[in-house]
Chains A and B, each alone.
Chain A
Amino acid sequence: MAMTDEQLIERIGQGHIVESPGEMTPEYRQTLIHILTVSADTELISAPSYYTAARNVPSMNNLISALAIIQDELSHAHIGYRILQDLGVDTEALIYDRDPKQFKHPYAFDVPLRSWIELIVANAFYDRAGYVLLGDVYRHCSYGPWRRGLAKVDKEENFHLRHGENGMRRLAATHREELQQAIDWMFPMTVEWFGLPDSLKTHGKQIGYRLKGSTNDQLRQTWLRTAVPLCEGLGFRVPAHHERATDAYVLDYPLPVDFDEAERRWLMDRPITWNDVLVRWKRRGPGNAMFVEMLQRGRRQMRETVERH
């Protein structure tokens, strides 16, 4: 007898781990597919984004570590799409025929990184966001195959963010201004990544199904709790501070604020609504078409060659 959604949520609440599509309700399956697609797309798009930035490496050793990180990201994407295939998703169409605007990665990856320093800060900020978000899934997720797949991801994202931290430490003395400039636009970018505040977003299903364990605001706070001390410890300015009374990190600007894409500058005195943010996210950013094209081009050329012969 098929289980109702309420029965499934109750079983999951008691600690049940779902192992196969046969145990899912249609709603659970749809929610899982959505959250897995966001995750796999994010891992995948980070590859062309980081690769584009890695062309500016100052040394061969730096190139080796950048390429190792890119290879990790592609493996993480592979694990996500592989699980999606077992859920009946046509990943050929999903990856190679999808309109770039329909990819579900965060807007942050649509803004191209222009230098080695920005790649270092991306490791320190963006991979930390990935580590926070996926670490939460790794510890709480009710879908067994994904949870197990994340053992590798959790370990490697931690390595990436350490790479970013070590890079920032090494460059802090000699490249202060460039690092501060990168932090100025990439810090608020990552803060926004965590999405709508809990007051505006109902997580009912994702948390009820235990596909994630924490809310957007809790995850954002977890990110701030290590990102702010990292920057302050190196003497960099960030638009957030620790509030002793509540032992929480508080932003020094009204989230969300307007973003000047061309200048890559946050207009801290121009508050906007989350609806405005969603419009920008849906419109996608300046690197979106280029990065997706880098991913899809080879497959398209191969298909054309096969058709000709």
Chain B
Amino acid sequence: MQRIGDEPVYEVFARRVDGEPLRHVGSVAASGDALARVYARSIYDEESWIELYVVPRRAVIPVESVRTEAVDAHA
């Protein structure tokens, strides 16, 4: 059984209405994509989103950041 803190983290992005930017609304931790979708849908239900996405945190590649160590680690 995976420890709770060891599950991969997914960043959650959502859009409320057309014309608004997709924005970061939070994160979930889940053992796989399917559960990440379920968790995102049930946890971030404060709005009637027209779009909702989960992205594995490891897939987010820093390009510019004032926190340079984050960029250097991926260089």
Measured CB to CB, the residues of A under 8 A from B are 19-20, 22-23, 71, 75, 78-79, 82, 85-86, 89-92, 95-96, 148-149, 151-152, 155-156, 302-303, 306
Which among B5, B67, B70 has the highest number of chain A CB atoms within 10 Å? Answer: B5
Query: Which chain B residue shows the least CB distance to A156?
Result: B46
For the complex, give the distance between the alpha carbons of A290 and B27 in Å. Answer: 30
CB closest residue in chain B, given A159: B46
> Out of A71, A85, A149, which one reaches B26, CB within 8 Å?
A149
Main secondary structure of the interface of B (DSSP, over half): mixed
Chain B residues near A78 (CB, 8 Å)? 28, 39, 43
27 A-B pairs within 8 Å (CB atoms) are namely A20-B67, A20-B70, A22-B69, A75-B43, A78-B43, A79-B26, A79-B43, A82-B29, A85-B9, A85-B29, A86-B9, A86-B27, A89-B5, A90-B3, A90-B5, A91-B5, A92-B3, A92-B5, A148-B24, A148-B25, A148-B26, A151-B46, A152-B25, A152-B44, A156-B46, A302-B1, A306-B1
Asked if B75 is an interface residue, CB under 8 A from chain A, the answer is no
B3 & A82 in contact (Cβ 8 Å cutoff): no
Which B residues are CB-close (under 8 A) to A19?
67
B45 close to A (CB within 8 Å): yes
Contact, CB under 8 Å: A22 / B26: no
Contact B42 A75 (CB under 8 A): yes
